[in-house]
Structure 1
Amino acid sequence: MGAEASLPEGYSVSLAGEKDLEGIRRIYNHAVETGTATFDTEAKSLEDRRAWLTAHDEARPVFVIRLKEIGEVAAWGSLSRWSEKRAYDTTAEVSIYVDPAHQKRGLGGFLLSRLIESARQGGIHMLISRIAEGNAASLALHRRFGFRHVGTLREVGRKFGRYIDVDILELRVGDREAGS
């Protein structure tokens, strides 16, 4: 189950590092200021993004896609803790952000494919995505990769002067048996 995605020509992918933080911050802050892909309402500092990156590990990585020729970050994706409660340690939340100048080129699909594979290899059992209403492209992308809609949280966010619903999607990537 799921879809295949290849990295378009002219781009490279790797685990994120210190040198990628400004590009990650730039893309994320654009989303903070212009859309509802994130419910953050204030731009993030470089120091904040550094702490955020440090909170990720092998089971919950951050990947970046760069333009090969100039090394500029064009997109990034991460797996993050779903909750600090230990019983949720094998569940991760998916985040994908693509610079508007690089959208509709397959970067989001490539990142989602890479995150799913990384989750399987890292012992993650369940992936969760929260998608704000009005983001049909993100819903379609997740469904293409086998995520299923499990519910809608009504009016749980407020941004740009309006209440926003959030769809919850999940994808089981691990075995049913604990420890398998």
Structure 2
Amino acid sequence: MTFGYPVIDIVPATRDDTPLILQFIKKLAEYEKLAHEVVATEDILRQTLFDGPRKYAEVIIAYCQRDADGPRIPVGFALFFHNFSTFLGRPGLYLEDLFIDPEFRGLGIGKKLLTQLAVIAKERQCGRYEWVVLDWNKPSREFYESLGAVPHAEWIIHRVEGASLDTLANM
């Protein structure tokens, strides 16, 4: 029994989950103090995750139930996609976002989401599974490291976006 929620399910998101996915994205952005950066809409997410010619990412959603017949409560999500390691010659799995509603943290839901992604990575013959975490987010960093994740501080993320992306594309 997990604090009154003995049933925890992790399921792939569907097109009908688009409003829920956007809600989780906005909650995560608030937690990270980046709400002002969210420009995603339900239409954009539907197009890029479900309806377009290419699915750019996938989502799994965590649900809790007090009992098998009770209502399913969506409590968290993970959004991920494939990258590629030239050194390994294999695809990798990249976790872009993971979020659990605060009142459901500490119940093992984050671990279940991360474990499910590890299973997916193994099934798809990925050579690695990685993500980044904000340097100030000590609880998350400690949690990830307790699961065997190793920080790679020598790698510095570089990003081109917005006007800089436009400028680079037009050179």
| Partner of residue 140 from structure 1, selected from 139, 142, 158 | 142
The question of whether the paired residues in 2 share the 8 Å contact of 1:91 and 1:125 is answered with yes
| Partner of residue 29 from structure 2, selected from 29, 32, 45 | 32
Secondary structure of the residue that 2:113 maps to in structure 1? Answer: helix
Secondary structure of the residue that 1:67 maps to in structure 2? Answer: strand
- Name the structure with the higher strand share: 1
Equivalent residue number for residue 92 of structure 2: 91
The structure with higher relative contact order (CA 8 Å, sep 6+) is: 1
Asked if residue 11 in structure 1 is aligned to residue 8 in structure 2, the reply is yes
CA distance 1:155–1:145, change in 2 (3 Å):
closer
Q: Scaled by the length of structure 2, what TM-score is found?
A: 0.69
- Name the structure with the higher helix share: 2
Question: AA paired with 2:81?
Answer: S
Q: Which whole-Å CA distance do the structure 1 matches of 2:15 and 2:77 have between them?
A: 14
Q: Scaled by the length of structure 1, what TM-score is found?
A: 0.66
Equivalent residue number for residue 76 of structure 1: 77
Aligned-pair identity in percent equals 12
Write the mapping of 1:103-142 to structure 2, written as runs, cut at 5 A.
103-142=105-144
Report the count of equivalent residues.
145
Q: Which whole-Å CA distance do the structure 2 matches of 1:46 and 1:99 have between them?
A: 20
The question of whether the paired residues in 2 share the 8 Å contact of 1:56 and 1:80 is answered with no
Larger Rg, first or second structure (1 or 2): 2
Question: AA paired with 1:96?
Answer: L
Aligned CA-pair RMSD: 3.1
CA offset at residue 32 of structure 1?
1.6
In structure 1, stretches of 5+ residues that fail to align are 1-7, 158-180
CA offset at residue 56 of structure 1?
4.7
